Amino acid sequence: MDYTWHFQIVWDYRMVFVRGAIMTAQITFWATLIGLVFGLPLGLMRRSRILLLRAPAATIIELFRSTPALVQLVWIYYALPILTGLQMSNTVSVSIGLGLHAAAYFAEIFRAGINSISRGQWDAALATGMTYTQAMRRIILPQAVRRMVPPFINEFASLIKLTTLGSALAVYELLHEANNLINNTYRPLEIYTVLALAFAALIFPIIYASQLLEQRWRVRQ
């Protein structure tokens, strides 16, 4: 095969990648925030002994986990305005849609992490006179969070990659910027190669940081 690579073109358009990466990072940031804010209560509700809390949480979580994220985004962007009159911009729709999608997965991570803490820890905390909230905040969560970090990083990395679904709603994230560039330059191979590297550059530091964190906790405990 004698294909001649022309990475010069990519370099000429580097600002397009930077712009796309910033948008990707922004969507990831908001989606993660939404995911955490809704994921923790959802996970706690699903552990509840009260059916009225447990059932809706389980329904929402399984609904978001069992349907494609793309369908969720399209639905929020196109169907929600028809039903509620609430029209959000494409960027906001993607951030919220991915945020709720992430919340479902984060909720399961929270739930599994909390459940992994032995009953003896609850016994000791409650026997001291702590309330449920105090025990959760001071004793259970600090231990559970350490166990949640690896699966959380997995979900986070997958969330970053899911932002490419934004291109379906014409959000100017990395993939959409890259596709536009391909239409102008007819250099798909170079551009997709750099696109892959751009995602790796976003995700790798996070994985690395989580490994450092895990090591530190192993040493300290």
Q: Which of 23, 139, 174, 194 binds another protein (CB under 8 A)?
A: 139
221 near another protein, judged by CB under 8 A: yes
Of 206, 192, 114, the closest CA to residue 159 belongs to 206
Site string for another protein, 52-91 (x = CB under 8 A): ----------------------------------------
CA distance 209 to 92: 28
Question: Are residues 24 and 205 in contact, defined by beta-carbon separation less than 8 angstroms?
Answer: no
120 near another protein, judged by CB under 8 A: yes
Q: Which two tokens stand for residue 40?
A: 């923790």
CA distance 12 to 80: 40
**Rounded least distance, CB 146 to another protein, Å:** 8
50 near another protein, judged by CB under 8 A: no
**Rounded least distance, CB 140 to another protein, Å:** 10
Site string for another protein, 140-159 (x = CB under 8 A): --xx--x-------------
- In eight-state DSSP terms, residue 105 is H
Closer residue to another protein, CB minimum distance, 183 or 221: 221
Binding-residue total with another protein (CB under 8 A) = 21
DSSP string, 138-181: IIIHHHHHHHHHHHHHHHHHHHHHHGGGGGGGT--SHHHHHHHH
Interface residues with another protein (CB under 8 A) are 118, 120-121, 123-132, 134, 138-139, 142-143, 146, 220-221
